[in-house]
Structure 1
Amino acid sequence: MTLTSLFKAGPGGVMTDDVGVITGDLELRTTLADDGAVTVEIRYEGADEWYRLAAADCRLADPKDHEPVHHALLGVLNRPEG
């Protein structure tokens, strides 16, 4: 299962494992695997390439927690006013 949401990074941007900090209008994607592993990635809004969000991957005991985890991450990352 995959969830995606648009957001705006605050000052200082968002750190990725792949390319360092990215800023601006971004998209969050969380993907839940059958074993409960959640992969967290971001990209520039509308871009093709996704980047792994630094230190954000996790494993869930209950698949029902995927959506709340996605929205919690979105709440932390979305800082349009800084």
Structure 2
Amino acid sequence: MATNGIGPAAATAIAVSPVLVNRTAATATVVDPREGVVEETITTGRNPNHVEVADGVAYVVDKSGAGENGADTVTVIDLAH
């Protein structure tokens, strides 16, 4: 629904994840969404490709089979520090 800045949709906030995955670098970058600056870059498992943020924590799924016995891994990032 486009309102061109008129009506309730003009005030609706859009949730943006502050974490970007860098698949080929095997890292996740935490960005301050208000300032648009990088806060930190964290090493993850190989091929990170999914991020879910809940309650101040980011969960990055590394789908590479690089974990023990070929399992995928999850990197947990505390965003509240």
Greater radius of gyration (CA): 2
Question: What TM-score range do you get, normalising by the shorter chain?
Answer: 0.3 to 0.5
Between Structure 1 and Structure 2, the one with more helix by share is 1
What TM-score do the two structures reach when normalised by structure 1?
0.35
Between Structure 1 and Structure 2, the one with more strand by share is 2
The one of the two structures with greater contact order (alpha-carbon pairs below 8 A, sep at least 6) is 1
